[in-house]
Amino acid sequence: MKFIFFAIIAWLSIAYAKAQPGCTDPQALNFDPTATVNDGSCTYPPTTYSPELIAELPSELAEASGMEFFDHQLWLHEDGGAGPLLQTVDTVTAAIQVSYSLPLLENTDWEDLAEDAENLYIGDFGNNSGDRTNLRIFKVNKTALQVAGTVTAEVIEFSFSDQTDFTPAYHATNFDCEAMVVIGDSLHIFSKRWLDKTTHHYVLPTAPGSYVAPLRDSFNIGLLATAADMSADGVVALLGYDLSTSEVAMWLFWDFAGGAVFSGNKRKISLGSALSLSQAEGLAFSTATEGLICSERFSVLPQKLHRFDIRQWLENPSPALEAELEPSISLSPNPFSDFLIVDFQVVGGGDGQFSLVGTDGQTWRSGELRSGKNTISTEDLPAGTYFLWVKNEDGNVVRKVMKS
């Protein structure tokens, strides 16, 4: 019996060691090389990226809203008031190629497109006042869309499980909706919450019918969510903007289990200001890492089409590059109190950039590192754990430091 008991204990110990939870992404500030199971705890440095401008969209797409890429074509529609019309758009010139009229469908407020292998899903669920009781998704066969003159659609009707008040509140509701993706046999919907700038995640079957969409979970994106898509590799991108700051950003969610989109890695990519992108409303992957963003006309800012590539945030950094940079950095004192000295020595010289980030992802300090000793004032920082992220042209490295 003793042998069996100790054998069980040994087996459990080995199983636990093999399933060590933690942050498994080497690009994260809190990467744990001993972790074997991603527990969704990864935090990342502030990241800014400028999508490539392709061209202005034609005036017929002034209110470009939803996009999807399939059959080697970019499909795009406008939102409410534009009629039941889908357009294919050239990804080099942004010119309209073919227009598909869907007269048997109604465009109350189309906001996003999603797809599976056989069907295109049109989200007629824009709800700026939060008072709609006819939210729906049109399910259209993709082959029929391209070869038939008159296209019919199956209808998925739904309501939000947590909405009980339908009093109109224009741009002051938490039940607006503009983003969805298909994962397996389910539609995953991400709400646009004007009041708190989080997003709530709901799930529906892809089969036609009338449903109450259960609330799966939520995440604080700090934005008004306007579009979503999922890559062939299972990365969900959620697009949005912040009216108070004019920031446009894209959240990336990956390495999650099943349909639990917010359970894996979560990284925010700031795309700059609406002054350069206009009002970003649509997003679609064209390859596993590349995709397109459409923006509608916003005041004097024209409607535009941009291209993005997220490859750099999904590939692990080169260990060789980190090895070159790692010996060149030393920190003192650690734990620190009123200041932190960073001794930055790189073979061949050259400056670097640093960010001092808390465990909650908040950036407390950032700036330039000169070759030699750099003093960072930290008197006002609360006690706790921080990550110093340093990057230069040779690579990047992260150091864990403590404030006493």
DSSP state of 3: H
Domain ranges of the chain: 37-43+319-403, 52-314
> Strands (DSSP E) along 20-90, which ranges?
21-22, 37-38, 52-56, 64-70, 73-78, 85-89
Cα separation, 97 vs 88, in Å, equals 5
pLDDT of residue 275: 92
- Exposure string (b/e) for 227-263, b if CB count within 10 Å is 16 or more? bbbbbeeebbbbbbbeeeeebbbbbbbbbbeebebbb
Q: Give 14's pLDDT tier (boundaries 50, 70, 90).
A: very low
pLDDT in tens, 334-371: 899 999 999 887 765 568 888 888 876 678 999 998 88
Amino acid at 153: A
pLDDT of residue 167: 97
Mean of pLDDT values over 200-216: 98
Measuring CA to CA, which residue among 404, 338, 320, 401 is closest to residue 375? 338
More confident residue, 372 or 347: 372
Mean of pLDDT values over 153-170: 97
Q: How many other CB atoms are there within 10 angstroms of residue 322's CB atom?
A: 15
pLDDT of residue 175: 98
pLDDT in tens, 282-301: 999 999 999 999 999 988 89
pLDDT of residue 17: 46
Task: Flag whether pLDDT at 61 surpasses 70.
Answer: yes
pLDDT of residue 316: 64
Strand partners, 137: 123, 156
Task: Flag whether pLDDT at 44 surpasses 70.
Answer: yes
Two tokens, residue 198: 């989080």
- The chain-wide mean pLDDT, for the chain, equals 89
Measuring CA to CA, which residue among 78, 81, 79, 105 is closest to residue 89? 78
Mean of pLDDT values over 176-197: 97
Question: In this structure, which topology does domain 52-314 adopt according to CATH?
Answer: Neuraminidase (2.120.10)
Task: Flag whether pLDDT at 9 surpasses 70.
Answer: no
Amino acid at 382: P
CATH number of this structure's domain 37-43+319-403: 2.60.40.3080
Non-local (6+) Cβ contacts of 345 within 8 A are 328, 329, 371, 372
Measuring CA to CA, which residue among 316, 296, 362, 313 is closest to residue 79? 296
Measuring CA to CA, which residue among 42, 182, 55, 202 is closest to residue 115? 182
pLDDT in tens, 258-269: 899 999 999 999
pLDDT of residue 89: 97
> Strands (DSSP E) along 10-61, which ranges?
21-22, 37-38, 52-56
Mean of pLDDT values over 37-62: 95
How far from chain centre, in Å, is Cα 366? 24
SS3 146: helix
Mean of pLDDT values over 311-327: 57
How far from chain centre, in Å, is Cα 28? 16
Measuring CA to CA, which residue among 158, 326, 184 is closest to residue 258? 184
pLDDT in tens, 131-158: 999 999 999 999 998 776 678 999 999 9
Rounded-to-10 torsion of CA 253, 258, 260, 261: 20
Q: In what helix (H) or strand (E) does residue 403 lie, and over which residues does it extend?
A: strand 395-403
Task: Flag whether pLDDT at 210 surpasses 80.
Answer: yes
Cα separation, 52 vs 292, in Å, equals 9
Measuring CA to CA, which residue among 258, 259, 251, 205 is closest to residue 228? 251
Mean of pLDDT values over 74-82: 93
Rg (CA), the chain: 24
Is the Cβ–Cβ distance between 228 and 271 less than 8 Å? no
Non-local (6+) Cβ contacts of 182 within 8 A are 114, 115, 116, 121, 188, 206, 230
Q: Give 5's pLDDT tier (boundaries 50, 70, 90).
A: very low
